[in-house]
Amino acid sequence: MNIIAVLDLLSLLTVLAAILLVIRSQRSGFIFCEIRIVVLGLLGFSALYHFFLFLEWTGITTRLDRIEDLIGALIPMWWAFVFYAILKSLAAHDLQKSQERYRMLIETMNEAFATIDIDGRFTSVNQKMELMLGYPKKELIGVFLKRFLDEANQEIIDDRLIKTQNYVPSSSEHEWIRKDGSRVVTYMSPQSLFENEIFVGSFAVFLDITDRKKAEEALQDSEEKYRNVAQNATVAICVIQDEMFALPTRNR
């Protein structure tokens, strides 16, 4: 047998073995689907090419020369598809990793986070948002954000978050109604979302300032009580601050 025919036969057997390996990799998921398809195409063309060469060099037939030449021309072109599929799959893999890191960041952040569509429905929330409102994620996604606000806060949300395509987003305070009926005050920082320059919704970070607001109110009540005591005292009381009278009272 012609030595070239032997080499073509060996090449054919090698290509067939490679095809089997690629097919088996489908079960393990080791190779991306797009790469697997184009590689199988390349190997298929290579198998036919070496098979036709084997037929030619063994003298079996030469009628397949034109098809052989066509396949020989297609193989280098097909390599371009292989490289493109590899680059595309790697980019998709990197994008998937970036999305996973993004989701992990959102889920583990200390502040509540949510995205809202153009109609004002929740499209995503993180764990902190679930804890803040007292609802599980499945009871928040697809629900109108206004459901968790009183009328006064609904109007503010309309202007600051849902309609931000015509508004420069700015931070503001809002009081929410939790599932158990209690109230929680947040400081909201919104931002518009656009796709191809089309407004598609908004996202916002919500900082729970309920404890701070309660502390401020308690301090204000305490100061008011102190002021009333001082003003109604039967003896003269004054506070000297920086060598000046800060809270003089009259002696009755």
Residue 89's closest CA among 42, 39, 133?
A: 39
Question: Same domain, yes or no, for 77 and 116?
Answer: no
Query: What pLDDT digit, counting tens, does each position of 147-169 carry?
Result: 998 888 887 777 666 555 555 55
Q: List, in order, residues 6 or more apart from 80 with CB less than 8 Å away.
A: none
pLDDT (0 to 100) of residue 76: 78
Q: What average pLDDT score do residues 55-70 get?
A: 81
| Cβ-contact 65, 56 below 8 angstroms | yes
pLDDT (0 to 100) of residue 137: 93
Q: Which residue has the higher pLDDT, 234 or 49?
A: 49
Q: List, in order, residues 6 or more apart from 28 with CB less than 8 Å away.
A: none
Query: What pLDDT digit, counting tens, does each position of 93-149 carry?
Result: 777 788 788 888 888 888 899 999 888 899 999 999 999 999 999 999 999 988 998
Question: Same domain, yes or no, for 87 and 167?
Answer: no
pLDDT (0 to 100) of residue 252: 47
Question: Same domain, yes or no, for 100 and 115?
Answer: no
Query: What pLDDT digit, counting tens, does each position of 14-25 carry?
Result: 988 888 888 777
Q: What is the mean pLDDT of the chain?
A: 79
Single residue among 91, 106, 121 that ends a domain in this structure: 106
In a domain, 250, yes or no: no
**Hey, is 59 helix, strand or coil?**
coil
Helical packing angle, 33-57 and 3-28, nearest 10°? 160
Residue 145's closest CA among 186, 107, 191, 114?
A: 114
What share of the chain in percent tops pLDDT 90? 16
The 10 Å Cβ neighbour count of residue 190 is 21
pLDDT (0 to 100) of residue 105: 83
pLDDT (0 to 100) of residue 238: 63
Question: Same domain, yes or no, for 68 and 123?
Answer: no
Which stretches within the chain are classed as H helix?
3-28, 33-57, 65-108, 127-133, 151-157, 210-231
Count of domains observed in the chain = 3
In a domain, 252, yes or no: no
The pTM of this model reads 0.55
State the Rg of the chain over Cα.
Answer: 36
Indicate whether 67 pLDDT > 50.
Answer: yes
In a domain, 127, yes or no: yes
Residue with tokens 């994008």: 95
Question: Same domain, yes or no, for 155 and 100?
Answer: no
- Residue 171's domain spans which residues? 109-208
Query: What pLDDT digit, counting tens, does each position of 236-245 carry?
Result: 566 666 666 5
Residue with tokens 């009333």: 228
